[in-house]
Amino acid sequence: MDTKKLIRFAICMLIAVLLKQTVHAQNSNSIDKIPMDIAYFRINNIEAPLAKVVYGRPVKTGEQVFGTQVPYDKLWCAGANEATEIKFYQDVSFNGISISAGTYVVYAIPHENQWEIILSANLDVWEVNQYDPVFDRARITVPVAKTEQTAYFSIAFKEQPNGFNMVMRWDTTKINIPVGLINTDNYTAMNN
């Protein structure tokens, strides 16, 4: 066998082994069944975002989510698996509380008619296992609204005057978390 054929054969064998390992890894039972999602908030399609949220999207498993699948009055990671993280690219007002630009974990304590929303500076945590109130940067209360039913938990942004709402929806529950832009000069410049 000449050298070129031997090299081609070796490359083909290496590719076959790598493909087999990849397929095995993809078929593994350890693969997470809950997809991660990312949402950005931008103004008028300007490339630089003002906020980004990364979260796990759990699916509804029973007749009702809140009060059963997600218990009332208990700390929840506002998603699934790794705790939800939001990054603010500039200083913001979190329902009136000044928050510096940076990344924070978002926790929630769902109640029947309102939710407590917590921003924590303790990052890269799994669900609520490492929650420590020492790292809290803000704790606010927002009302619950009813909405059309949705099977997957979702977070989106909706522009508001001088800021935006971070909107969480799941099952028939929706909450709006108001976020204001502190530097309205940047907002006005980007909005024109």
Spatial CA neighbour of 95 closest among 71, 114, 68, 112: 114
- Averaged pLDDT for residues 175-184: 86
Euclidean distance between CA atoms 5 and 11, whole angstroms = 10
The region that residue 12 occupies, defined by phi over 0 for left and psi between -120 and 50 for alpha, beta otherwise, is alpha
Q: Which residues on neighbouring strands pair with residue 114, listed in sequence order?
A: 143
| pLDDT one-digit tens code per residue, 28-77 | 455 556 778 888 888 776 667 889 999 999 999 888 899 999 999 999 99
* pLDDT score at 174: 97
Does this model's pTM top 0.85? My answer is no
User: Could you read off the pLDDT of 82-134 as tens digits, one per residue?
Assistant: 899 999 999 999 988 999 999 999 999 999 999 999 999 999 888 898 899 99
Q: Which alpha helices (DSSP H) does 97-179 contain, by range? A: none
Cβ(91)–Cβ(98) below 8 Å: yes
